[in-house]
Amino acid sequence: MKEAVMQMAVKGIMAILLFAVGDPATGTLGVRDEPLTRQVFMVENPEGAGTGFLIEESGLVLTNQHVVGTIAEQKLTSLGGEAFTGKVLETNRLLDLALLQIHDYPGGEPLKLSGQRAERMEPVMSVSWTDMHPFVIREGVIQQLHVSAGFDGNDAMFNEFIISDTDLDPGMSGSPVIRPETGEVIGINTGIHPWSTLSFSVPVLAVERVIERWIRDHAAET
């Protein structure tokens, strides 16, 4: 009897822990990560889907250009389940970035973009949705910095990529690369290495002028 009571108590404690910190087996979110459910979105259109994240409280969302494609209107769903529509304001194919404005956005706290350069062997995490589960955190370690990647014919399109061992799934393009210690974004996931599980992301510092200009030009319009 006492053993059964102990087992029930242990199960109860484990359930509380999973609720509080998430499930490390699946990478699902817990209460500690609850703000991310309002800051990270699934970005969807008839041609496909990816991830985006809030960078300005009025509803500006950053994602990949290859996620939005050539479609002006996008459907956005927060990881907390709120549904919105958004308009593509700016794209940059070279940097694989796109800026969206959520229509009638009620306002919210954006993710903070880091002003500190990423470091090799630094731990990172990415939060997103996948086809298997809508609330996923993936952890990894930065392996290389400033690597040329992405090609247009024989010419390198961009030479400021971060490579990490974060295991990304379809749907995670455009998701934020977060520094766990501070919660700041240091990169934007853009793809995976075709012959391994390594992932590519664009460093925030490498594209900060573009992002800052986009925010400056469009935040006042909302």
Is the domain of 106 the same as that of 56? yes
Estimate to the nearest angstrom the gap between the alpha carbon of 168 and the chain centroid: 11
84 domain-assigned: yes
Cα dihedral 5→9→10→14 (10° resolution): 150
Structural contact between residues 149 and 160, judged by C-beta atoms closer than 8 angstroms: no
118 domain-assigned: no
| For the chain, the helix, strand and coil percentages under 3-state DSSP, each to the nearest 5 | 20, 45, 35
Q: In the prediction, which pLDDT does 36 show?
A: 84
> CATH number of the domain that 133 lies in?
2.40.10.10
Is the domain of 86 the same as that of 145? no
To which residue do tokens 């409280």 refer?
A: 57
75 domain-assigned: yes
Number of domains in the chain: 2
Beta bridge partners of 123: 141
Expressed as residue numbers, the domain containing 58 is 35-110+209-219
Summarised one tens digit per residue, pLDDT across range 96-106 is: 999 999 998 99
Helix (H, G, I), strand (E, B) or coil at 221: coil
Task: Please tell me the distance from the alpha carbon of residue 14 to that of residue 188, in angstroms, as a whole number.
Answer: 33
- Record the pTM: 0.80
| pLDDT tens for the chain, residues 1 to 222 | 545 444 434 333 333 333 344 444 444 444 345 678 889 999 999 998 999 999 999 999 999 999 999 999 999 998 888 999 999 999 998 889 999 999 989 988 999 999 888 888 999 999 887 766 667 888 999 888 876 655 555 554 566 788 898 888 778 899 999 999 889 999 999 887 766 678 889 999 889 999 999 999 998 665
Closest to 137 measured CA to CA, from 181, 178, 91, 185: 178
Q: Is 212 exposed, middle or buried (0-12, 13-18, 19+ CB in 10 A)?
A: exposed
Is the domain of 95 the same as that of 65? yes
- Residues contacting 2, CB < 8 A, separation 6+: none
Is the domain of 136 the same as that of 178? yes
19 domain-assigned: no
147 domain-assigned: yes
